[in-house]
Structure 1
């Protein structure tokens, strides 16, 4: 597992070496670049976690380089500017372009270390907040006190201590991603990124760019393998990967490196891969839809997540967990499930597994009233999921708000309904909605709607 990687860009050799020695003593790995062109090469070779960038250099000044990076996909990581001839205008311009901070030369050892530490921590918080906005669940230990769940949690903790690849299988809604995140949180890679790549959401022919990144006209786009460097990459619904992409991924895994699309220099792989699928990959191999050699690469350690009906004794714990979750994180009213409601739910078949249970809890907390959730209320809520009558527009959208917000509210309700109706099948959903798939994917992302939650 790689340490935090910092790129130091400065035309003065003494400063480069001094900064390298200081930061390496703190456990960071350092790459040096003596000018702007060397910095461009360094970014092509490896995505850094932080850049220390001098402003005044002979070939290309740091502000121009910062502007160039910002105009690509945005800055690849936090950037701290350095200068012995700084002024307020330069600092303001650097900040406007996205620089995290500005250090004056001669560098103060204490201030350098503190600024680097704070920049890395701020970047980590930004990534966590982006995950929250995308409705990514917080990392928590999967709930349940049954013998089956206790065995599963212990198995995950044992697997996490070894840097092996894992194949997670299970029905839709069983919590495959939850277990993948829990595994990452228990591993030595926990301080490095966890990147979730939804394979089924990748447009056909675009898998190589999403996985490996690309280079074009000197601009670098970092793919998921580099974004997860040192950490964990979850290939969600890996069975949906087309054969060409499977072949490219296999080549990368065989050699331990890959080429970005349009690139010529190999990039080393340093990542734990967790693959997840609801399908039987052995059957997919027999049918010729999945490469056998890739299957054996990914299936180093298999982990099967049980459907909820096979550990129904955990349902009371799960109900309590999600009531607490929504009361804490979404400020919904706290309500408790009656004994009758809990017994009814323990005998329900749960075709949608834990995802269905979570949605049920959220629904009764939003729509119900009173301290107790009764069996009748639960039966009504579950019945409405199977035969939901068309709701009047007034029930979906508040008319006492600006038109743009009302439109977004309606679009979200409409697309939520379509996703549930088609069990997350975007092709069927796009056909019924009369939308082109690429446009539909963009719309779902802009509204914060997760496709994989419906599978």
Structure 2
């Protein structure tokens, strides 16, 4: 993988040529600019990993350009200032504006290379720390020793060895984003950024700016494609895209470049795309809700994440994992689950999948009703006394096609909890382990009014 993309800004052609040759000998990708105008254009076209910026230039000097980037919020890369006759004042001002370092001419190529290497490494650590803060959860571990989970991990590791694009399907809460992170962590791009975008959570008028970035009054706000440059971009809930954005996304994926919202320059794209959906995209294509050409562009390698019901034997291991993780990272009390509690949880249907399980474990630890989690406490938390036998359901329900029976049960289940919570959709989403946006879609699909009728 290329160690870095560097922009060299200097009005002296000999300096630009010399620095470019030295850096390219070290396998850096280098572009040059002779003044502030061409530097702005270079940054607009593709954000560099580092800038070497001369202070004394005609028209706009380096300090002014640095200040411009800092004030526009576009200073997302380290900047090393270069000067033939710098002063303490200019060095202090450059540092105040966010410059990483300040070196003087005539350039010592040894010192230059060391400074460049340290600046890139420092920026890598900064981005990694930011990534870890944003992802302070067990998000790259696929837990379970069941044959299904072993097969899933093996499939992902085989896929990760390639650079193919992947379409992940599975129920809400089953762990599609975790599977995507696991794939990234085992790929050749593991040291580059992993960026996740939950498309259903973004209003349609803002999706394009989120994905492709935005230019406004000279200021550049990089989008998810640029933030993930060299790494992996997860397009979660891809089924939520409107038609216009689907067309724009398809064009970008086919051309391998895109234009920011409000911009004119094309930006090259170097990312691995992983798309995820909790809906049947092929059915969406048949119903003309999703573009067929975009579906086949994304669906290079299909990957299905099983629901928790399909590998319920992993429930005790998942519980143990989350208990330990929450005790270590969220400082919640450690509690042991009794055999009866574990059996009840193992046989529960888990409509919200692993996400619901995680929420249930967290709730039980927060309540902290003693050293042990009992069966009665689990029953109270789940709101269900025990697994129900088929004989307990109406005979008419058991005679229905599976899809109709499931719809009828889901409608009764949601109406019950909406009535119990006074129409509090957020609380029902939390209890059921469903994303709120998915719950709203489900209510609309089943014809359920979130507001209960007045008594």
- TM interval, short-chain normalised: 0.7 to 0.9
SS in 1 for 2:102: strand
Indicate the residue corresponding to 1:180 in structure 2.
180
Aligned counterparts, 1:118-137, within 5 A? 118-135=118-135, 137=137
TM-aligned CA deviation for residue 159 of structure 1:
0.5
Which stretch shows the higher mean deviation, 117-126 or 262-271? 117-126
Verify: 1:218 aligned to 2:218, yes or no. yes
Post-superposition CA distance 1:69-107 (Å, at most 9, x none)? 122234132222222333333233222222223333344
Gap regions ≥5 residues in structure 1: 392-413, 430-455
State the distance in 1 between where 2:185 and 2:438 align.
34
Post-superposition CA distance 1:159-201 (Å, at most 9, x none)? 0111111000111111111111111111111121111111112
State the distance in 1 between where 2:164 and 2:11 align.
41
TM-aligned CA deviation for residue 359 of structure 1:
1.4
Aligned counterparts, 1:335-414, within 5 A? 335-383=335-383
Aligned counterparts, 1:43-62, within 5 A? 43-62=43-62
For these two proteins, the number of residue pairs brought into alignment is 407
8 Å Cα contact 2:175/2:305 also seen in 1: yes
TM-aligned CA deviation for residue 265 of structure 1:
2.8
SS in 1 for 2:82: strand
Change in Cα spacing, 1:137 to 1:82, as seen in structure 2 (3 Å) is farther
Indicate the residue corresponding to 2:326 in structure 1.
326
Aligned counterparts, 1:242-321, within 5 A? 242-321=242-321
Change in Cα spacing, 1:325 to 1:24, as seen in structure 2 (3 Å) is farther
Indicate the residue corresponding to 1:420 in structure 2.
430
State the distance in 2 between where 1:419 and 1:63 align.
52
8 Å Cα contact 1:9/1:33 also seen in 2: yes
Indicate the residue corresponding to 2:405 in structure 1.
none
TM-aligned CA deviation for residue 350 of structure 1:
0.8
Indicate the residue corresponding to 1:241 in structure 2.
241
Query: RMSD of aligned C-alpha atoms?
Result: 2.8
State the distance in 1 between where 2:425 and 2:125 align.
30
State the distance in 2 between where 1:427 and 1:320 align.
28
TM-aligned CA deviation for residue 217 of structure 1:
3.5
8 Å Cα contact 1:197/1:235 also seen in 2: yes
SS in 2 for 1:206: helix
SS in 2 for 1:205: helix
Indicate the residue corresponding to 2:28 in structure 1.
28
SS in 1 for 2:189: coil
State the distance in 2 between where 1:15 and 1:355 align.
56
8 Å Cα contact 1:419/1:426 also seen in 2: no
TM-score normalised by structure 1 residue count? 0.82
TM-aligned CA deviation for residue 220 of structure 1:
2.4
Gap regions ≥5 residues in structure 2: 385-413, 441-455
Change in Cα spacing, 1:367 to 1:99, as seen in structure 2 (3 Å) is farther
Indicate the residue corresponding to 1:395 in structure 2.
none
Change in Cα spacing, 1:427 to 1:361, as seen in structure 2 (3 Å) is closer
8 Å Cα contact 1:323/1:334 also seen in 2: yes
8 Å Cα contact 2:257/2:266 also seen in 1: yes
Indicate the residue corresponding to 2:96 in structure 1.
96
